[in-house]
Amino acid sequence: MITRLPRLTSKLKRSLLTLLLLLAANSSIADEINFVMWKPDHPEVWDRILSDFERQTGVKVRVEIGPNSSTAAHALVSQKLKNADPDLDVFMMDVIWPSEFVSANWIESLYLFFPPQDQADFFPAAISACTIEGKIYGVPFETSGGLLFYRKDLLDKYGFGPPATWDQLVEEAEYIVSREQSHNPALRGYCGQFKQYEGLVCNMQEFLLGNRGKLFDDVERKSTIGFPANLHAVRYVRDKIIGKVASRGVLTYEEPESLHVFIQGHAVFLRDWPYAWEIANNPRESSIAGKVDIAVIPHFTAGDSASTLGGWQFALSTFSRKKTLAWQFIRYMTSPSVQKTFALETSQRPSRRSVYNDPEVLSGNPHFAQLREAFEKARPRPAIPLYPLYSSIQQRFYQAAIVYPDSSLEALAAEADREIDRLLKLMSEGKP
């Protein structure tokens, strides 16, 4: 016997159709994540990689392009997080943001997703920058660090190799300039970023840590700028670098100005970031293309080379409602195969050390061998929640210390330590 179902009324049909559309929409939303990043230099590569992820997983990635400036990107992302925006799932995080974001409870701990054995292939400094109080909060995506660029043609001409120590750099720079200045009066020995901004902190950290200095006591939570090895390094910069092998003009230089001096052929050595490699060796932009090489940052005789860590990490918003899907995306974007694709097609510096050993990657980017050496020696900046305020105090100290030849370094350092310790005390009391 066949039981006939009652015929659906037009109203019921419309209701069922509406329900099906809603279910389809919700299903679509459930398989969609939102990702905030900076404007990519190679959008076609990003588009293809994102499309591959979507095809393999069925997860749609909605991308919001933020500003390239780290400061402006911080403002955009932090505003979304302050508002507990549930539509923000994944975002790119600068290496100096994690402590602040963890303190505000804005980013998710990844300890369930990203165990220690999976962290081993990443540069230790990048993992350290993402680790707060023993928990990991980010996955490194692109690694950067301070490098020493140098005029290989000039060093070869006078029988020098890349300097291992700052004394060797000063000696080589002075000798080469004395021989070359008759036909290049603008030539100086060294160029870097010494204007009062974050770049000054990065440059000076390399001098201090390269002398076995210590910026911060993590155990006692106290500032240690007045540490004797630190003051020795600062004094060296003031007395041997500024106005000596480097012009006093470097006190006004950020990255663009210092790189411009170098690619115009007016400096023997330059401290800069990896991005400068392609520009310095591009004949359309550089008068010294093909004459440039890189080395690790020099150190003091009693110290070791220390490159200030830079770069970007993936972070997972605390407020995301799709954490598992978001992690699936992070894992894919930081996989060895995707890291290799970015290295081959965009010359992006991978966060995975193993990619730097890949013969195909090295064939297309021979300088990656020196990059890996520098990144192995990289050191993160201190993990302090209100890092911009901490950095501002350091900037004022360094600028005052190196601008004036007769500055009292001990007095300036003592004042900086007091300011930082007071800031830390206010932070612990929840008052900033």
Backbone angles phi, psi at 314, to 5 degrees: -90, 135
Q: Which tokens go with 352?
A: 């995975």
Q: Is position 64 within any domain?
A: yes
pTM for this entry:
0.89
Q: Is position 8 within any domain?
A: no
Q: What is the pLDDT of residue 71?
A: 86
Of 349, 364, 379, the one marking the end of a domain is 379
Do 136 and 171 fall within a single domain?
Answer: no
Do 270 and 241 fall within a single domain?
Answer: yes
Do 401 and 335 fall within a single domain?
Answer: no
Do 208 and 279 fall within a single domain?
Answer: yes
Q: What is the pLDDT of residue 226?
A: 97
Q: What is the pLDDT of residue 425?
A: 87
Q: What is the pLDDT of residue 129?
A: 96
**Higher pLDDT residue, 68 or 208?**
208
Of 342, 358, 379, the one marking the end of a domain is 379
- pLDDT, average across residues 205-221: 93
Give the whole-angstrom CA distance, residue 420 versus residue 222.
8
First-residue to last-residue Cα distance in the chain: 79
Give the whole-angstrom CA distance, residue 141 versus residue 120.
14
Q: What is the pLDDT of residue 7?
A: 54
Count of Cβ atoms closer than 10 Å to residue 177 Cβ: 18
Write out pLDDT tens, residues 1-24.
Answer: 444 445 555 555 454 444 444 344
Look up tokens 């037009």; give the residue: 10
Number of domains, the chain: 2
Q: Which tokens go with 286?
A: 């550089």
| The amino acid at 175 | Y
Q: Mean pLDDT over all residues of the chain?
A: 92
Q: Is position 25 within any domain?
A: no
Do 419 and 351 fall within a single domain?
Answer: no
- pLDDT, average across residues 80-94: 96
Q: Is position 361 within any domain?
A: yes
Count of Cβ atoms closer than 10 Å to residue 62 Cβ: 11
Whichever domain contains 83, its CATH number is 3.40.190.10
Q: What is the pLDDT of residue 39?
A: 87
Q: What is the pLDDT of residue 422?
A: 94
Of 359, 379, 399, the one marking the end of a domain is 379
Q: Is position 165 within any domain?
A: yes
Is the pLDDT confidence value at 196 over 80? Answer: yes
Strands 147-151 and 292-295: antiparallel
Three-point CA angle 143, 312, 251, nearest 5°: 80
The rounded percent of the chain whose pLDDT value lies above 90 is 86
Strands 378-379 and 307-316: parallel
Do 100 and 213 fall within a single domain?
Answer: no
- pLDDT, average across residues 265-293: 97
Do 132 and 279 fall within a single domain?
Answer: no
List Cβ neighbours of 344 (8 Å cut-off, separation of 6 or more). 360, 361, 364
List Cβ neighbours of 185 (8 Å cut-off, separation of 6 or more). none
Q: What is the pLDDT of residue 219?
A: 84
Do 404 and 296 fall within a single domain?
Answer: yes
Beta bridge partners of 208: none
Q: Is position 12 within any domain?
A: no
Q: What is the pLDDT of residue 23?
A: 41
- pLDDT, average across residues 280-297: 97
Q: Is position 66 within any domain?
A: yes
Do 386 and 375 fall within a single domain?
Answer: no
- pLDDT, average across residues 150-164: 98
Q: What is the pLDDT of residue 256?
A: 96
Q: What is the pLDDT of residue 197?
A: 95
Do 153 and 200 fall within a single domain?
Answer: yes
Give the whole-angstrom CA distance, residue 284 versus residue 302.
41
pLDDT band with cut points at 50, 70 and 90 for residue 221: confident
Q: What is the pLDDT of residue 41?
A: 86
Q: Is position 24 within any domain?
A: no
Do 140 and 169 fall within a single domain?
Answer: no
Count of Cβ atoms closer than 10 Å to residue 49 Cβ: 18
Q: Write down how long the chain is.
A: 432
Show the domain range for 44: 32-144+309-379
* Per-residue three-class SS string for the chain: CCCCCCCCCHHHHHHHHHHHHHHHHHHHHHCEEEEEEECCCCHHHHHHHHHHHHHHHCCEEEEEEECCCHHHHHHHHHHHHHCCCCCCCEEEEECCCHHHHHHCCCECCCCCCCCHHHHCCECHHHHHHCEECCEECCEEEEEEECEEEEEHHHHHHCCCCCCCEHHHHHHHHHHHHHHHCCCCCCCEEEECCCCCCHHHHHHHHHHHHCCCCCCEECCCCEECCCCHHHHHHHHHHHHHHECCCECHHHHHCCHHHHHHHHHCCCEEEEEECCCHHHHHCCCCCCCCCCCEEEECCCECCCCCCCEEEEEEEEEEECCCCCHHHHHHHHHHHCCHHHHHHHHHHHCCCECEHHHHHCHHHHHHCCCHHHHHHHHHCEECCCCCCCHHHHHHHHHHHHHHHHHCCCCCHHHHHHHHHHHHHHHHHHHHCCCC
Q: Which tokens go with 29?
A: 């939303």
Q: What is the pLDDT of residue 386?
A: 87
Do 300 and 368 fall within a single domain?
Answer: no
Write out pLDDT tens, residues 223-258.
Answer: 999 999 999 999 999 999 999 999 999 999 999 999
Is residue 263 exposed (0-12), middle (13-18) or buried (19+ Cβ within 10 Å)?
buried
